[in-house]
Amino acid sequence: MGVLKRYGEYLPVTEKTPAVNLEEGSTPLVNLERIGSDLGVDLWGKLEGCNPSGSFKDRGMVLAVAKALEDGARAIVCASTGNTSASAAAYAAHVGVPCYVLLPSGKVAMGKLAQALIYGAHVIAVDGNFDRALEMAREAATERGFAIVNSVNPYRLIAQRTGAWEICEFLGDSPNLHVIPVGNAGNISAYWAGYKEFRGMWKIKGLPKMMGFQAAGAAPLVTGEPCPNPETVATAIRIGNPVSAELARSAVAESGGEFNSVTDEEIMEAQKILAAKGGIFAEPASCATLAGVFKLKREGRLPEGSSVVMILTGNGLKDPDAALSQVGEPTRIGGTMEELMEVLRP
């Protein structure tokens, strides 16, 4: 029913806030039995790729855009590795407000670029990485009086907490481990706030350990210092200087969790396994979660029988190039039944 409708009474929504709604949120939480039983855990995937623009960004964007409208903003602006821009462009189109998006040139997955363009945003390709594009977007917002809808906008993280509430409502408690990809570090912070708040309001017993996974080539929260030239196949989390680093550090510390990194090879292997043994096609950044769970298992640090929720942040269809680069070709045949029978072997 849309995040503002379902959770409006727990969000900063007033009678003046426009009821923006693309039916975001309420995403499936799927039990991944085949993979979980191999690992000896109760493994769940939260399918954030089922949101209207195909990523978790829609949860927070709906409130950020509603508030921008309420405040009379002339336009919205953001920098993005792809998903924030797709989401911002979708909501801007839905409500009819101009949208400017700054993207790191040549480093955004094809599907996300197509989304921003088809939704009618002004798309600006910046010769620089995401971190630089974000600095520029922030300055431009101040200069022009536009609403910035990156996660520096507080409404984004406030509404992203709804993901944690949905998980707790569905499971009846929090999971033991919450496993999440980390880029600009907003989502892990929002989930932690969401779990704590849910415990206060609805009296669940536990809180999860927050396990944040970064790509090895863009892992400032693992190394402890900014990464000037982030590089990874998981372009969504190709970020060297996360804006919400401090919030994310406290989430991990308070929960007794950790930051860790996974290589591009591990991410792509996990993408294949999630698809072929789970039936879920998630984009590479999202698969840093499963790669991380495998790493914990290898290191003997995945407690037997624990419940593990992975936030599968974005839809695999956004980045078909990444998937195609690691699978074989289709089996080709002419149009005869003999040839078909030849290849239909069990």
Note the residues at the interface with ligand F0G (CB under 6 A): 55, 57, 80-84, 151, 181-187, 236-237, 283, 285-286, 313-314
Tell the smallest beta-carbon distance from residue 31 to ligand F0G (Å): 21
Measured from the CB atom, the residue of 106 and 305 that comes closer to ligand F0G is 106
In order, the DSSP letters of 108-172 are S-HHHHHHHHHTT-EEEEESS-HHHHHHHHHHHHHHHTPEE-STTSHHHHHHHTHHHHHHHHHHS
202-229: b (≥16 Cβ within 10 Å) or e: eebeebbbbbbbbbbbbbbbbeeeebee
Tell the smallest beta-carbon distance from residue 237 to ligand F0G (Å): 5
Whole-number Cα distances in Å, 219 to 38, 55, 188, 212, 247: 28, 21, 15, 10, 16
Measured from the CB atom, the residue of 175 and 183 that comes closer to ligand F0G is 183
Strand bridging mode 122-126 / 147-148: unpaired
Tell the smallest beta-carbon distance from residue 285 to ligand F0G (Å): 4
Measured from the CB atom, the residue of 211 and 236 that comes closer to ligand F0G is 236
Asked if 304 contacts 41 with a C-beta cutoff of 8 angstroms, the reply is: yes
Measured from the CB atom, the residue of 1 and 230 that comes closer to ligand F0G is 230
Measured from the CB atom, the residue of 21 and 289 that comes closer to ligand F0G is 289
Question: How many Å apart are CA 291 and CA 255, to the nearest integer?
Answer: 21
Tell the smallest beta-carbon distance from residue 316 to ligand F0G (Å): 10
Question: How many Å apart are CA 266 and CA 216, to the nearest integer?
Answer: 10
Asked if 211 contacts 290 with a C-beta cutoff of 8 angstroms, the reply is: no
Tell the smallest beta-carbon distance from residue 14 to ligand F0G (Å): 26
Measured from the CB atom, the residue of 2 and 240 that comes closer to ligand F0G is 240
Tell the smallest beta-carbon distance from residue 183 to ligand F0G (Å): 3
Whole-number Cα distances in Å, 34 to 207, 222, 278: 26, 30, 7
Neighbours of 182 (CB within 10 A): 33
Tell the smallest beta-carbon distance from residue 121 to ligand F0G (Å): 13
Question: How many Å apart are CA 164 and CA 255, to the nearest integer?
Answer: 14
Phi, psi of 93, rounded to the nearest 5 degrees: -65, -40
Question: How many Å apart are CA 27 and CA 194, to the nearest integer?
Answer: 16
Tell the smallest beta-carbon distance from residue 83 to ligand F0G (Å): 3
The radius of gyration of the chain from alpha carbons, rounded to an integer in Å, stands at 20
Tell the smallest beta-carbon distance from residue 186 to ligand F0G (Å): 4
Measured from the CB atom, the residue of 40 and 154 that comes closer to ligand F0G is 154
Measured from the CB atom, the residue of 42 and 131 that comes closer to ligand F0G is 131
Asked if 229 contacts 197 with a C-beta cutoff of 8 angstroms, the reply is: no
Measured from the CB atom, the residue of 173 and 263 that comes closer to ligand F0G is 263
